Amino acid sequence: MSARENRRNGAVLVVVALSMIAAAVVGAAILAKATSARYERVQFGIANKAYYLAESGAAYVCARAAAEIYYPPFAGHPPITNVLANGDWFIVTAYRTNVMTVTTNAGVTNFASALHNIGTSIGVAHPGTALEARRQIHFDMLVSGKMIDDFPGDEGSLMTGDPAKPDYHDDMFAETGASKVEIKDTGPSQGIAVAPKLDKGPGEASLALHWWNSVSLSNAMAYVYWANDRLLSYDVQTKVGYFPNAPSTHWMMGISFRLHESAQTYGLSFFHSATNVSTDGAPWVDQLDANFHLLRGTNYYAVLWYRAATNTPLKLINSHRLPTDYLYLDKGQYELKYYNTLLLRIDEEYADATRSNRQNRIVAYLATTNLNPIWPSYYTSNAVWQENATNFPAPITWDQAPYAPATGDQTTNVDGRITSAGFPGIRNAEIGVHLFYDRNAANELFLRDFAIRFDSFGSPFGGTQIQW
């Protein structure tokens, strides 16, 4: 073999060797890439597993707080570890605290103190192995389902002072259309009540809640509004007493809600209009709309209505004819029993996904004096609410189809003409009572046992995720 051939064969061998090396390098790279991708997918799955373990720790706090009224404690608790059957685990700490929210709207500053459960949860998947993954979340849960109904003393009440001999709470309420508001004793079995004096002419009056005169009440209302995503929901109740010294032909009394300073309002009332004859002493009777006129006659009703402004028609939303156990016979004529209870439940919600439109879900309850007797004093702590099935067996079933008949619910009216938009910067009274009469009224129309309850609604837990 010549030297030239030897050189040629050697070159070929070098090329082959280099090609084999290059192929091995490429193969190794491809294998490494495939192995890395597979490992990353496994690690990603394990990391997600660790994250959901951490969320489980937050869910544990949420569930326990719902079952235990004082959990978690304000001072917090030591770390709690929960080990799953497969060896994965989460560890969680939590404490309770009040968080103050300060808002300013139209020059008005509002302070709302909300109760929060705050904590940290760590989830660990495949602990002690090469595949171990950890995730940590910080969570903040607004305490949900707590009722704000025990205002100190007489805040939010129509009466104040000595429970045995109270005064009208004029610091808390502003009257319109009443020449005088007094406290009267309506007898041994009926007790003390508020008696607004109505003068012939307009024949109507209202007592509007000035909630901003009470720090605890205004804070409670602001708290509920902001905690519930700028929606305002509540319960209100009062008892109505009608003592006809000289029988009236037309009258209506009850609860005002979504009450604006422009007199725009909803009303839940006991209503009676004996004839279709107009009266000079009560312009409001002539302002009843056509649906109201259908109720005029000899019967008594619970009515739900709406008014756009002062001296505008009262528009009937719905009605419920009262059964005879709410009435008594007097000289062959039915009259309303003393101090039957009206109870209103209003839940505000967003009407669509844009969250720009609101609506109210309105439910009402009734109770006779026999089922819900007058309180031993005017303190709101004596109030009994609708969850007491003895006093309030069921909500009113309205006579007409509600505004949302597709639901098949004859107890709930849905209406969006007046909402809480702008509250609390706009100081609308929001809640009050009203009286309508067809002549001068003194010692005939009475109100007592007025109480308000606000619900605080919690938001889902959530927070910042920290990964390692």
Q: For residue 447, what are its two tokens?
A: 């109100």
- Check whether the bond before 424 is cis (ω within 30° of 0): yes
From the options 1.10.260.40, 2.60.120.560, 3.40.50.150, 1.10.3210.10, give the CATH code of 147-455. Answer: 2.60.120.560
pLDDT at position 143, please? 65
pLDDT at position 410, please? 87
Closest CA to 256 of 161, 356, 136, 344: 344
- Spell out a b/e string for 382-406, using b for 16 or more CB atoms within 10 Å of the CB, else e: ebbbbeeeebbeebbebeeebbeee
Q: For residue 204, what are its two tokens?
A: 């109507």
140, 51 Cβ separation under 8 angstroms: no
- Spell out a b/e string for 170-202, using b for 16 or more CB atoms within 10 Å of the CB, else e: eebbebebbeebebbebeeebbbbbbbbbbeeb
What phi, psi does 273 have (nearest 5°)?
Answer: -140, 110
Q: How many CB atoms lie within 10 A of CB 47?
A: 17
* DSSP per-residue codes, 244-282: -SS--SEEEEEEEEEE-TTS-EEEEEEEEE--S---TT-
Closest CA to 432 of 361, 344, 372: 344
* DSSP 8-state symbol, 322: P
What phi, psi does 455 have (nearest 5°)?
Answer: -100, 135
Residues of the chain with CATH 2.60.120.560: 147-455
Single pTM value for the model: 0.69
User: What single letter denotes the amino acid at residue 53?
Assistant: L
Q: Is 205 exposed, middle or buried (0-12, 13-18, 19+ CB in 10 A)?
A: buried
Which residues have CB under 8 Å from 75's CB, separation 6+?
Answer: 95
C-alpha–C-alpha distance, residues 118 and 297, integer Å: 59
3-state class of 454 per DSSP?
A: strand
Q: Is 313 exposed, middle or buried (0-12, 13-18, 19+ CB in 10 A)?
A: middle
Strands 333-336 and 340-350: unpaired
pLDDT at position 3, please? 59
Which residues have CB under 8 Å from 205's CB, separation 6+?
Answer: 175, 176, 177, 178, 196, 198, 434, 435
186, 192 Cβ separation under 8 angstroms: yes
pLDDT average per 10 residues of sequence, the chain (468 residues): 59 63 62 55 79 90 79 90 93 84 56 72 91 87 54 76 90 91 83 86 88 82 76 93 80 96 92 81 86 90 94 93 91 87 92 84 94 90 90 92 60 93 87 90 88 61 41
Angle among Cα 445, 449, 453 to the nearest 5 degrees reads 130
The length of the chain in residues reads: 468
pLDDT at position 390, please? 93
